[in-house]
Each structure stands twice: as C-alpha cells, then as structure tokens.
Chain A
C-alpha cells in the first residue's frame, strides 16, 4: 500500500470507501428475489449491483442481457467504436507473477525508436482506425515519459483519439501527456484486494496499491477527458473485484461529472513462460454476467471488450453490452511494421481478426462500426 519516492499522494477517502464496500460484499446473501428487484429498478443502485453480480443472478442471464441491451441502445444506439492498442515498449521494472512482461520473465524485449513508432502508427492508420491506445510496460524511468509523450504527439497527428495504458503518473505528468494529444487514460487495478495485490505484485513501482488506485483521479486532475478502469478477472474473487471496479468508476464519475468513464473486462490469459496462467472459475457465462452488470449499473460508460476473448464471444457481447472493441490487435512490440526485431507479447490473444473483418462482422450484426468518435479540443 505504501508510496514510493516521487509518488504524488492525494486524498484517499474514495479508495477507503471502495475497499470497505468491497470487503462487506457478501454475494451469497443474495437470492432470486433480489436479482428480480434489481432488474426492475429504473436506476440500479449499489445494492442492486451486488445482486446482479451474485451467483443467484447466473440464472437471469437472458433478463440481464435484455436490460443491458436496452440501456446500451439508449446511450449508444447502434454504434460500436473501434480502436487498436499499440505496444511501443515491453520493458518492465515491475514483477507481476501473472504477466508476460514481468521483469523476471525471460522474453525478447524491445523499445521502438520514435521513427519506428511513427511507421507503426502510419500502418495502423491505413486500416482506417482513428482511435489508438499507446501501451508500454511498467518502466517508469523518467526518460521514458518524454519518449511516451513524443510517441503520443505522433499518434495525435494521425488519430482523432489517443489514449495511454502505461504505468501510473502524477497529475502534472498527466498534464504533460494531455498536452501531447492524449485524452484518455486506462489503468487496470488488476485486483482490488490489497492482500492479493501484494501477493502478485512483488517488485517495482506497481507494488504501490494506493498510487495505482488513485491514477484515474490524478489523470482527471491533469486535464484528461476520459479514464478507464478494470480488474483482471481471475486474479482474485472475481465478483468482489468486478463490484469494486464498478463502484470505483461510479464514484469517480460522481466526483468528476464531466469525465467519460470506460471499463474493460479482461480475464487472465496465458503468456510466454506462463502457460499455467488462466481465468480459473471465470468462465464465459460469468464474464457475460459481469459485463451485463457493468452496463446496467453504468449505462453511460464505454465498455471495452478485449481480444483475450474469442470472436464468437465478442460478437455476442457487442450486441448486448460492450460499446467498444479492439481490432487488428497485436500485443507484441514492432509487429505493425517490417521491423526486423520483435518484442514478445504480454499475453496470448484469442481473436486475431483484422480490422476489415471485424468491421464487416459488426455490420452483419446490424450495428454501426464507428472509427471516429472524438475531437481533441
């Protein structure tokens, strides 16, 4: 939980509230009547969310899907946004036991030079995508921030929406990235259990639970427009982690009403030298339940579905609850160009469809793929 040198401390009352609510969430107490009551609520409250994430709601998937779909239509109509992640470096100072980039994992490491980043961005832009998410490992050396900033400047010339999923920063550093053209910041908390967090994050700056937890708030303080949240489902009790993710996002939106809120729903996946890593009890039905609960509780939030999931699951979930989908994805480094050297992947993906294929599939579902949905002002 402790902070390291140079980490900005902000008020922790929101974090304490989330952790205390997570702690007191006993999902086995909820029965069918509670789920039925939640689904009838015009605006589902925290108690309703608890019911929707309980095992009892597993028998209500169809009803939850219908409600989620109706809520999503209200805010998003037929639109499904497309984006792609671009990994520019897989160097990492943190040791996270489940991750392919972990500092102790022997993989091929690569940090693209800025001209290589530019080439990769140009190649991605040729696909028609207008939304790009820049990713790195958790290598927080100071020289890296200006490097990431330069990469984001290049991205903002070609893309209408640029996001980052990098190590957490102080608010002034977020301001710097915002000035480089970045408008959204995604930080996965991985797990909201401080105990489990300490067990799986055993080296590097990522060990600080609190600094990571408050990253979205610091990003908004730094002028970012949109922030994304996620628990890595399968690391700990997925119901409690999904619950914490949703209320964390909810409280941040209440505190910063202008903020656009996004949620990702990643499940653990195997990675190089980590073939044993998996999502455990979080099967597709459970994941479906979680995503529907997210949508019903936060109908206005952008919900992103990752290539960790199969094409079949992704096609199914964008009809119901997910409003944003990645396409043409590679989670390695240097893979969008002819660069000789490649950096290994962070995890194994499932859906390998290219942009055109996903685009066509979305249209076949009578949905509207949307490339551009943002203006940087």
Chain B
C-alpha cells in the first residue's frame, strides 16, 4: 500500500503534501490565519482586488510566509484582463502561481471557458503556474492541457452554493481522461462532499464559503482537512466495488466447461 506520507500534489514541479486549497475571500481576516493552520493548507487563494497594498488590513499580512499564495484573477471578464491582473499580482510579490478566473456573469459567476483557455495560454507562456477555474467540459480540459495549464479546476456546483458535486459525472470523465491534477473548485459545501471528490480521484479540493460561513471556522477547517486526507487515502487504497448483483457460488457459465 502506498504510504500517504510519500503522496504529493504536484503542480508544474512544485510539491505539496496538503491537498486542501483554501479560499480566503469570505473570511474574517482575524480567523484566516487560524483556519490556514487548522486546515493544514499549503496553498491559499486570494483575490488580487482584495490586496490593500500599503493599507490597513491587507489580506496578504494575514497569510503566513511559508504558504504558497494563489492569486486569482477575479474581476476579469476576459483573457486580457486576467493577464493584466496576473501580472499585477506578480509585481506585488505574489509569486508565479495564478488561478485564472474569467467570469462574464455576475449572477452565477460561471467561468467563461473560451476566455479561460486564451488566458491560460498567454499566462503559461509568461512562465506562470496556471490553475484555471473551468466548467467541466472534456474538450475544454484538453485545450487547457495543450495551453500549458498546471491542473484543471472544474466546478462542483455554482460557487458559494455548498451543493457539492452537482457535476460529478463530468468531473469523473476529466479524472479518467486528463493527465493533469483535477482539483474541484466551487460548490463543495461539507467535509463529506470533499471526501467524495477525493475518493473519486480528484487531486485536491478547494473550499471557501463552506468554512468561512460555518458556525466554527477553525473546527470546520480541520474537519475538511481530515476528510480530504481520508478521501485521498481511500482513493489510494482502492475502493471495494459496490455490487448490486449477487455472486453465484457456482459460476453461471460453469456448464460451458
């Protein structure tokens, strides 16, 4: 059996032992640092528009220095805007990771896959580690691989809904067909849903709303961390098959011998 201690999430050569990516946009900042710790998260996303450079309550000051910051391009409506925001993030010292969000819809915040592919290609060419938020479509995922993405980040359900894996069947197809980490991003509302995503073979889970708006942020962050680890372990162990068909003790095809 594979030792979970030798199990890493790899993104363009960067290794992470944690498979829990924590979103930060909906947190009270005073709780963010504790949540990161309790979640054992090593990657934390942040919206660049929330960075109050040189100002008070700058979200960057609440993220420990050993954490990999994953700035997102929220606010970008197209590839060009996403690229501009990513470059700004780099200038502010956020590093080379970027989560591409191209959203042209303020109501559901669904990603625009076409613009996402364009942004991914441009940013990969600029040396970014590109993690694109996308609507789970196999053809798009293949295009993202070709564009130089470090992973694909399909949504489980519309962002903030806590509805879990509404797109389960399509994410499974990505896991089967795409040779990059598949990271579920958006819609995961409970530890059990995060666990299920990991059991299916997702490489990591990203969550924000479910934790930020829970009754006890620290406890929920920890619950997510444990469930993600449990789901990963179950995936590595190989789940026993669930069968609806009784196994006959004498083979039904035995008479052929």
Binding site for B on A (CB under 8 A): 73-79, 128, 130, 160, 253, 257-261, 300, 363, 366-375, 377
Cα A41 to Cα B206 with chains together (Å): 28
The 3 closest A-B pairs by CB, nearest first: A77-B26, A372-B52, A74-B160
Cα A77 to Cα B28 with chains together (Å): 9
CB-defined contacts of B47 to chain A, threshold 8 Å: 373
Q: Does residue B88 face the partner (Cβ distance < 8 Å to A)?
A: yes
A77 touches B51 (CB 8 A): no
CB-defined contacts of B75 to chain A, threshold 8 Å: 374-375, 377
Task: Looking at the assembled complex, report how far the CB atom of B181 sits from the nearest CB atom of chain A, in whole angstroms.
Answer: 26
A130 touches B27 (CB 8 A): no
CB-defined contacts of A261 to chain B, threshold 8 Å: 106
Q: Does residue B25 face the partner (Cβ distance < 8 Å to A)?
A: yes
Cα A377 to Cα B106 with chains together (Å): 17
Q: A74-B160, A77-B25, A258-B103 are in contact. List 20 more A-B contacts (CB 8 A).
A: A73-B26, A74-B161, A76-B26, A77-B208, A78-B26, A130-B52, A160-B49, A253-B107, A257-B105, A257-B106, A257-B107, A261-B106, A363-B30, A366-B28, A368-B28, A370-B50, A374-B75, A377-B81, A377-B84, A377-B85
B85 touches A77 (CB 8 A): no
A128-B104 contact given A74-B161, A368-B27, A368-B29, CB 8 Å threshold: no
Q: Does residue B212 face the partner (Cβ distance < 8 Å to A)?
A: yes
Looking at chain A's contact residues, the main secondary structure is loop
A77-B212 contact given A130-B52, A257-B107, A259-B106, CB 8 Å threshold: yes
Looking at chain B's contact residues, the main secondary structure is loop
CB-defined contacts of A363 to chain B, threshold 8 Å: 28, 30
- Closest A residue to B83 by beta carbon equals A377
Binding site for A on B (CB under 8 A): 25-30, 47-52, 55-57, 75-77, 81, 84-85, 88, 103-107, 109, 160-162, 208-209, 212-213
CB-defined contacts of A75 to chain B, threshold 8 Å: 160
Cα A300 to Cα B109 with chains together (Å): 9
CB-defined contacts of B81 to chain A, threshold 8 Å: 377
Cα A300 to Cα B108 with chains together (Å): 8
B50 touches A372 (CB 8 A): yes
CB-defined contacts of A300 to chain B, threshold 8 Å: 106-107, 109
Cα A130 to Cα B49 with chains together (Å): 11
CB-defined contacts of A374 to chain B, threshold 8 Å: 49, 75
Cα A77 to Cα B107 with chains together (Å): 16
CB-defined contacts of B56 to chain A, threshold 8 Å: 128, 371
CB-defined contacts of A77 to chain B, threshold 8 Å: 25-27, 208-209, 212-213
CB-defined contacts of A366 to chain B, threshold 8 Å: 28
- Closest B residue to A367 by beta carbon equals B28
- Closest A residue to B160 by beta carbon equals A74
B85 touches A375 (CB 8 A): yes
- Closest B residue to A43 by beta carbon equals B107
CB-defined contacts of A368 to chain B, threshold 8 Å: 27-29
Cα A374 to Cα B107 with chains together (Å): 17
Q: List 29 A-B contacts (CB under 8 A).
A: A73-B26, A74-B160, A74-B209, A75-B160, A77-B27, A77-B208, A77-B212, A77-B213, A78-B28, A78-B213, A79-B25, A128-B56, A130-B55, A253-B107, A257-B106, A257-B107, A258-B77, A261-B106, A363-B28, A368-B29, A369-B57, A370-B50, A372-B51, A373-B47, A375-B48, A375-B49, A377-B76, A377-B84, A377-B85
CB-defined contacts of B30 to chain A, threshold 8 Å: 363
Cα A76 to Cα B159 with chains together (Å): 11
Cα A374 to Cα B52 with chains together (Å): 10
CB-defined contacts of A377 to chain B, threshold 8 Å: 75-76, 81, 84-85
Task: Looking at the assembled complex, report how far the CB atom of B30 sits from the nearest CB atom of chain A, in whole angstroms.
Answer: 8
B106 touches A253 (CB 8 A): yes
Task: Looking at the assembled complex, report how far the CB atom of A230 sits from the nearest CB atom of chain B, in whole angstroms.
Answer: 18
- Closest B residue to A375 by beta carbon equals B49
Cα A126 to Cα B190 with chains together (Å): 42
CB-defined contacts of B85 to chain A, threshold 8 Å: 375, 377
Task: Looking at the assembled complex, report how far the CB atom of B75 sits from the nearest CB atom of chain A, in whole angstroms.
Answer: 5
- Closest A residue to B78 by beta carbon equals A258
Cα A74 to Cα B160 with chains together (Å): 5
